[in-house]
């Protein structure tokens, strides 16, 4: 069963820097509910390719779901990044692009919380979405630490200046330029973080940058529930299964590396003989079943019951299908994105989970 995709029309293209563009889309009038999103989520898009038919890529939303603006992603060119270069070179107003509905769990549980946001390079995209939304809808204070190579590399420079000027008591933006200050050290990050130990932290950027910042946050004993790190890995599967000419495509967004190896793939052999009782919380509704076959993955079982559970890659290579265990346990047949801390926090991938206990309760919230 392939996830539903949509052809979206480009309504605006903005050059943010010499190598980054924001692309805005018109949401289909007959499916607005499919594009309701949370700040920090991403879109999976299908970029035309002469070699593979289409290249599937994930790009974070930089827009806010609450300010009335269009659905917008921001894309930065990468070295030998086919899709990002194609978007920056070719996409124009009036063009259409095939897109999957928004996904991802890199989003605040409460928009009223005090937020400590770390961005590096193009990792600012979901950080901007969170900042815009929190200022518009929330009540907390927001501190942004934004690291870049040099001044001309700063995406959303004018927007951050405007937002900070309009919200001087709530928003503080600190720009760190490698060309001026060098690469930030763990000691410098620690000194910066210490006044904000009770804030909720979010980190997005190049893998070494995220690893350094999250290591500092751990050392300062930031609790797991207040420490969030965006994770993207290469998509080895085909999320656009309804397009016949699509071959397997790699995502350009690099896998984050925090020093913890994900679970290895394991055998599909079930550990239970009989059916399992399952309770699922999804979109404010509770679904209960007493016939989950231990050989069937959670996502497949829910789809068979007519429950529209979220997913994107179906391969255990993204976080779109993430669940949180409330009771019982499951094991994942494949996992390329969750680290040991995620697992300890009860997070699992629904597309890869089979039950290991007679009763399982999970939530998608």
For residue 265, name the pLDDT band (cuts at 50, 70, 90).
very low
Average pLDDT of the chain, as a whole number = 86
Higher per-residue pLDDT: 273 or 301: 301
Using one digit for the tens of pLDDT, what is the confidence trace for 204-251? 998 899 999 999 999 999 988 899 988 655 454 556 764 443 333 333
**Residue 302, H or E segment:** helix 298-304
Using one digit for the tens of pLDDT, what is the confidence trace for 26-41? 999 999 999 999 999 9
pLDDT, average across residues 14-25: 96
For residue 51, name the pLDDT band (cuts at 50, 70, 90).
low
Higher per-residue pLDDT: 42 or 365: 42
Q: Are 242 and 319 in contact (CB under 8 A)?
A: no
Of the candidates 273, 259, 240, 277, the residue with the CA atom closest to the CA atom of residue 340? 259
pLDDT > 60? residue 67: yes
d(CA 337, CA 259): 12
Give CB contacts under 8 A, 24+ apart, made by 281-290. Answer: 281/326, 281/361, 281/362, 281/363, 281/364, 281/365, 282/307, 282/309, 282/363, 282/364, 282/365, 283/364
pLDDT, average across residues 13-27: 96
Higher per-residue pLDDT: 120 or 272: 120
The pTM of the whole model exceeds 0.75: yes
Alpha helices for 120-269 (secondary structure H): 124-137, 157-166, 178-181, 186-193, 207-219
d(CA 351, CA 294): 14
pLDDT > 50? residue 346: yes
Pairing of strands 285-292, 330-332: unpaired
Using one digit for the tens of pLDDT, what is the confidence trace for 147-174? 999 999 999 999 999 999 999 999 999 9
Q: What are the chain's domains?
A: 6-99 (2.40.30.10), 115-229 (3.40.50.80), 276-363 (3.10.20.30)
């Amino acid at each position: 069963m392939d996830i539903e995709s949509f052809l979206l029309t480009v309504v605006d293209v903005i050059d943010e820097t010499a190598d980054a563009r924001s692309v805005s889309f018109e949401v289909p009038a007959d499916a607005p509910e499919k594009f309701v999103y949370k700040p920090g989520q991403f879109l999976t898009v299908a970029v035309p390719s002469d070699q593979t038919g289409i290249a599937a890529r994930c790009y974070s939303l930089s827009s806010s779901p609450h300010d009335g603006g269009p659905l917008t992603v921001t894309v930065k060119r990468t070295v030998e990044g086919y899709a990002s270069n194609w978007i920056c070179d070719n996409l124009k107003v009036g063009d259409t692009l095939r897109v999957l509905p928004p996904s991802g769990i890199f989003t605040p549980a409460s928009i009223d919380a005090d937020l400590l946001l770390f961005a590096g390079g193009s990792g600012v995209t979901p950080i901007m979405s969170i900042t815009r939304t929190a200022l518009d809808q929330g009540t907390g204070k927001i501190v942004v630490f934004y690291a870049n190579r040099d001044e001309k590399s700063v995406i959303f420079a004018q927007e951050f200046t405007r937002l900070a000027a309009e919200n001087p008591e709530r928003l503080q933006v600190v720009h760190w330029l490698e060309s001026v200050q060098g690469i930030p050290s763990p000691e410098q990050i620690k000194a910066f973080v210490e006044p904000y130990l009770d804030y909720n932290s979010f980190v997005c950027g190049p893998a070494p940058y995220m690893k350094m910042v999250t290591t500092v946050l751990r050392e300062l004993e930031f609790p797991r529930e207040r420490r969030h790190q965006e994770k993207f890995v290469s998509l080895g599967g085909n999320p656009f299964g309804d397009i016949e000419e699509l071959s397997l495509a790699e995502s350009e967004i690099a896998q984050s590396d925090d020093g913890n190896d994900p679970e290895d793939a394991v055998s599909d052999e079930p550990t239970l003989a009989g059916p399992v009782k399952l309770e699922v919380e999804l979109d404010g509704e509770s679904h209960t079943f007493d016939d989950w076959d231990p050989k069937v993955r959670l996502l497949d079982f829910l789809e068979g019951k007519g429950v529209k559970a979220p997913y994107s890659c179906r391969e255990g290579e993204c976080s779109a299908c993430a669940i949180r265990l409330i009771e019982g346990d499951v094991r994942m047949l494949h996992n390329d994105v969750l680290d040991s801390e995620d697992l300890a926090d009860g997070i699992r991938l629904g597309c890869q989970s089979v039950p290991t206990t007679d009763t399982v309760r999970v939530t998608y919230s």
